Amino acid sequence: MSDNVYAVSKVVGTSKNSVEDAIQNAISTAASTLKNLDWFEVKEVRGLIDDDKVAYYQVSLELGFRYEK
């Protein structure tokens, strides 16, 4: 393992389609601002129910990004 230093950012992604899409939405949006994203960890999965059906998926993530030396 190398001697990297990381910071962690908490983000929440949403999607009408799936948990996977909610994760990808969060990562894609964060990647437009943060550099050196290396890992993610799903912390919580929630959803919105409308008319007895899943209307939205909501996923809380922690993203690890590496500081540049």
Residue ranges of domains in the chain, CATH in brackets: 6-66 (3.30.1660.10)
Q: What is the pLDDT of residues 51-68, one digit of tens each?
A: 999 999 999 999 999 998
Helix, coil or strand: residue 69: coil
Flag whether pLDDT at 69 surpasses 90. no
Q: From its phi and psi, is residue 52 left (phi > 0), alpha (psi between -120 and 50) or beta?
A: left
Q: What is the pLDDT of residues 21-30, one digit of tens each?
A: 999 999 999 9
Strand ranges of the sheet holding 37-50, from the earlier edge strand across to the other edge:
6-15, 53-66, 37-50
Residue 22: closest CA among 40, 34, 9:
40
Check residues 15 and 68 and name the one with the higher pLDDT: 15
